[in-house]
Amino acid sequence: MAIAAWRKAIAEFVGAFTLIFIGAGSILSPGGSNLLLVAFAHGLAIGVMVSALARISGGHFNPAVTLGALVGRQITPRLAAVYWGSQLLGALVAAFGLSIIFPSSVWQASHLGTPALGSPPGLSWTVTPAVGILVEAILTFLLVFVVYGTGIDPKGSFNAVGGFAIGLTISIDIMMGGPLTGAAMNPARWFGPAVVSQFFDNWYVYWIGPFLGAIVAGLLYSRAFLDKTR
């Protein structure tokens, strides 16, 4: 039986909310300087939500993933627009909740955990916007490629590994890219904290990079690997 669009919208809202609330919240917590903790917080948040809600909406929780599915003709433009609205709204509500839970003296330094170039600190060189776009594009390519292989492809391994392959991809991406760009891989992950904290430095990096990577991954997997006879 077909699942109503409003149910899918709620699932996407809850998944995006969880990612931002847990992911950005881990940066604001006392252990927020620990890259492994932040990486696994993001990855596990997505892993459990994908496992719980993929049967409803496909478990995108990310405008870039939805775009990747759209260019691969796995979702209609109308439903993609519904997903994008739900994901961005979930991110906003989560960021607003974090701004209430944590005092401003805690979250102002990291702008509510908004991804930023060269964040967290410790680099001996500056990440330029061009490099940031490239990093975000590559990391998002890997994420969307794994989403296709484990979640979208009916011959994939989703039943065997659940959402944890997707969650682990996010974790390893953050382990590599976290110090460079914050490893958003997701415009919603940037959008919610950025809007609530009013921090918009290099905002275009977190839209152009993830969208480019998602388009390449969606086109490549759908053209090269999906079974066209199903």
Helices (H), the chain: 5-28, 35-57, 63-71, 77-101, 104-107, 129-147, 158-161, 164-181, 187-197, 205-224
Mean pLDDT, the chain, whole residue set: 93
CATH topology (fold) of 5-224: Glycerol uptake facilitator protein (1.20.1080)
Q: Is pLDDT of 119 > 60?
A: no
Contact by Cβ (8 Å): 181, 135: yes
Q: What is the pTM of this model?
A: 0.94
Q: Is pLDDT of 120 > 60?
A: no
pLDDT confidence of 1, banded at 50, 70, 90? low
Contact by Cβ (8 Å): 216, 134: no
Task: Please compute the mean of the pLDDT values over residues 219-223 and round it to a whole number.
Answer: 97
Interacting residues of 19 by C-beta distance below 8 A, sequence separation 6+: 42, 45, 46, 49, 61, 62, 91, 94, 186, 188, 189
User: What's the CA gap between 41 and 52, in Å, rounded?
Assistant: 17
Q: Domain limits of the chain?
A: 5-224
User: What's the CA gap between 146 and 78, in Å, rounded?
Assistant: 24
